[in-house]
């Protein structure tokens, strides 16, 4: 037998390789490709009153959704809220990522575990933690009352709570994306700027920030698409009073049983994803 | 590379942001020991009654059992399915290996709310809603991309020479894989198993679409509970889950090193 056996080149090797790929291809086809194509088809299917599905194809779901003021407001609100969350996540994550990038040894591993651990903790658990902080009888309000400032601030069941909670939920993704993009950050360049007389803030703004743009762009893309499509946190912290695309998709599918509209809204989420991706590609080309 | 000193300003800001990041996870610990009947922070007294409440809540315990069994089955299946696939992609230079990898990891790019809805609609027609095997398939779709990623990375990093040596000495391809490749891949397999288990155990959105009144997973049961009422019950479950997650993370860190697993 030749040394190439492990690589299994040639005709029979290809056949073996194809056989090894059959199970994963089967799962992907049956539970990913087929359902998604079906969802696309459904968004063009006629909806009958009472949750039934017609057999004829129509553009009514799309034109109906895109001409309804409620849905337009919903889409706009979702995009705007997600942008705010992305920006906040960037501002809060940047110091952590930079600190991690510059620390060394055992300490760095510990901090990395601390960053990744929330990622591995259920969104339900973390959102529940935010309820404890933001509720009327929660940490912030009780702290304010204790300090003699009355408390009674409404931090939940509104946009504020959703933005705070989701920002924190998405921070680990932003931190990891930033870290991956910090490779170009060379301390010698920063030192050169300092030697030439730049004050710390100027070094940060004119040297550090431009060099980290690829990581920033990746982190922002990731956070934005995750924010647009997240469901658990807006549902629990919004308490049914904050209407976003993802929560509406769930309500239309489970409560109202209007599958064509749920399918159409899902496709709109994917269109927003596509737009974010195009914007990301352009941004990346501009900074590189 | 030379080291860059960390300024006190950066240290301070990073500390505050770390606090913000960890606050919700840290806070559920004291709340789980609350003696109050509703959630407030700080609690007015301390007790273990919410742990007792969890262990005597048959619905939550049932959901815990479902989630554990589901995560175990999904972990085993994801290894059985992704291991051969990663071998085919990395070693046999199948036509368009890169494209195949992208295709098989594509479900990760799709928002779970969309994927959940899509699977719900197809499963509803097949009578798979509210069934255990329906949940297994739904979870496999999201777990397999992670498994494939970690396994292909692990396999690509192996020295090919050792396998070639074994093959030259007359070992059949299957023996080479079983006696040489597989043992070398142990760290990758450990990492994959841990990740698959945690992802499946924590999965809430797709499960929310696929569970029924008689079959529910722990994250879904917790979600429904929090949505309906605000008491410290979920805090006690959360603490147990956090301990479990930390244990898994520590095992991975000890056997493979966390940095190598998650950051490149």
Chain A partners of B174 at a C-beta cutoff of 8 Å? Answer: none
Give pLDDT, residue B138. 94
B20 touches A at CB < 8 Å: yes
Inter-chain CB proximity B84 and A20 less than 8 Å? yes
Average pLDDT rounded to a whole number, residues A174-203? 82
Inter-chain CB proximity A21 and B84 less than 8 Å? yes
3-state secondary structure of A54: strand
Inter-chain CB proximity A120 and B245 less than 8 Å? yes
Confidence (pTM): 0.87
Q: Within the 66-95 window of chain B, which residues sit less than 8 Å (CB to CB) from chain A?
A: 80-82, 84-85, 87-89, 91-95
Inter-chain CB proximity A131 and B230 less than 8 Å? yes
Q: Compute the nearest-CA separation of B92 from chain A (Å).
A: 5
B39 touches A at CB < 8 Å: yes
Chain B partners of A251 at a C-beta cutoff of 8 Å? Answer: none
Give pLDDT, residue B207. 95
pLDDT per residue as tens digits for the range B167-211: 888 888 888 888 888 888 888 899 899 999 999 999 999 999 999
Query: Which of B11, B98, B111, B199 would best serve as a mutation to test chain A binding (most A beta carbons within 10 A)?
Result: B111
pLDDT per residue as tens digits for the range B4-57: 778 888 899 999 999 999 999 999 999 999 888 888 888 888 989 999 999 999
Residue A217 confidence (pLDDT) above 70: yes
Domains and CATH numbers, chain A: 62-287 (1.10.3720.10)
Give pLDDT, residue A149. 74
Average pLDDT rounded to a whole number, residues A170-188? 86
Find the CB nearest A92 among B20, B31, B120: B20
Residue A264 confidence (pLDDT) above 50: yes
Domains and CATH numbers, chain B: 58-262 (1.10.3720.10)
Give pLDDT, residue A51. 61
Q: Which of A126-130, A236-240, B73-77 has the lowest mean pLDDT?
A: A236-240
Closest CA to A164 of A258, A226, A84, A66: A84
3-state SS string for chain B: CCCCCCCHHHHHHHHHHHHHHHHHHHHHHHHHCECCCCCCCCCCCECCHHHHHHHCCHHHHHHHHHHHHHHHHHHHHHHHHHHHHHHHHHHCCCCCHHHHHHHHHHHHCCCHHHHHHHHHHHHHHHCCCCCHHHHHHHHHHHHHHHHHHHHHHHHHCCCHHHHHHHHHCCCCHHHHHHHHHHHHCHHHHHHHHHHHHHHHHHCCHHHHHHCCCCCCCHHHHHHHHHHHCCCCHHHHHHHHHHHHHHHHHHHHHHHCCHHHHHCC
Minimal Cα distance from B23: which residue of A?
Answer: A129
ipTM score: 0.86
Minimal Cα distance from B246: which residue of A?
Answer: A117
Chain A partners of B50 at a C-beta cutoff of 8 Å? Answer: none
Dihedral angle of Cα B43, B45, B46, B50, to the nearest 10 degrees = -60
Find the CB nearest A112 among B40, B93, B258: B258
Per the model's pLDDT, the better-predicted residue between B94 and B167 turns out to be B167
Inter-chain CB proximity A138 and B41 less than 8 Å? yes
């Amino acid at each position: 037998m030749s040394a190439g056996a492990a690589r299994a080149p040639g005709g029979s090797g290809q056949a073996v390789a194809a056989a090894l790929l059959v199970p994963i291809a089967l799962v992907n086809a049956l539970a990913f490709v087929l359902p998604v194509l079906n969802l696309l088809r459904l968004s063009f299917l006629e909806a009958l009153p009472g949750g039934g599905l017609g057999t004829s194809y129509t553009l009514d779901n799309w034109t109906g959704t895109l001409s309804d003021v409620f849905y337009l407001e919903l889409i706009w609100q979702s995009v705007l809220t997600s942008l705010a969350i992305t920006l906040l996540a960037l501002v809060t994550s940047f110091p952590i990522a930079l600190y991690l990038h510059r620390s060394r040894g055992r300490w760095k591993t510990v901090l990395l575990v601390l960053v990744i651990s929330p990622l591995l903790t259920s969104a339900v658990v973390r959102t529940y933690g935010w309820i404890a902080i933001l509720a009327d009888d929660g940490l912030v309000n009780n702290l304010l009352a204790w300090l003699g400032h009355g408390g009674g601030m409404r931090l939940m069941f509104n946009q504020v709570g959703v933005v705070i909670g989701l920002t924190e939920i998405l921070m680990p993704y932003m931190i990891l994306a930033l870290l991956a993009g910090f490779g170009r950050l060379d301390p010698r360049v920063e030192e050169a700027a300092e030697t030439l007389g730049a004050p710390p803030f100027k070094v940060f703004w004119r040297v550090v920030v431009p060099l980290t743009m690829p990581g920033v762009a990746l982190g922002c893309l990731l956070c934005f698409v995750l924010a647009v499509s997240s469901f658990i946190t807006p549902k629990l912290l919004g308490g049914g009073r904050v209407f976003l695309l993802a929560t509406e998709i769930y309500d239309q599918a489970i409560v109202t049983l209007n599958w064509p509209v749920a399918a159409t809204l899902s496709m709109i989420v994917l269109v927003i994803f596509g737009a974010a991706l195009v914007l990301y590609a352009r941004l990346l080309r501009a900074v590189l | 590379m030379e080291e860059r000193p960390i300024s006190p300003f950066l240290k301070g800001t990073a500390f505050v942001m770390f606090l913000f990041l960890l606050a919700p996870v840290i806070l559920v610990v004291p709340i789980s020991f609350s003696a109050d009947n509703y959630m407030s922070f700080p609690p007015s007294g301390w007790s273990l009654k919410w742990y007792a409440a969890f262990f005597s809540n048959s619905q939550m315990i049932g959901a815990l059992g479902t989630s554990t069994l589901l995560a175990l089955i999904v972990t085993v299946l994801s290894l059985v399915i992704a291991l051969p696939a990663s071998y085919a992609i990395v070693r046999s230079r199948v036509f368009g290996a890169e494209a195949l990898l992208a295709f098989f990891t594509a479900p990760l790019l799709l928002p779970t709310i969309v994927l959940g809805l899509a699977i719900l609609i197809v499963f509803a027609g097949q009578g798979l809603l509210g069934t255990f095997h329906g949940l297994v398939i739904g979870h496999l779709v999201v777990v397999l991309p992670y498994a494939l990623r970690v396994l292909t990375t692990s396999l690509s990093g192996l020295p090919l020479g050792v396998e070639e040596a074994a093959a030259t000495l007359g070992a059949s391809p299957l023996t080479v894989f079983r006696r040489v490749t597989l043992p070398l891949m142990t760290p990758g397999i450990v990492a994959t198993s841990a990740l698959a288990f945690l992802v499946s155990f924590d999965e809430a959105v797709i499960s929310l679409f696929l569970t029924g009144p008689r079959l529910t997973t722990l994250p879904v049961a917790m979600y429904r509970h929090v949505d309906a009422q605000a008491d410290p019950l979920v805090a006690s479950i959360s603490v147990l889950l956090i301990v479990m997650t930390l244990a898994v993370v520590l095992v991975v860190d000890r056997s493979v090193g966390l940095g190598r697993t998650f950051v490149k």
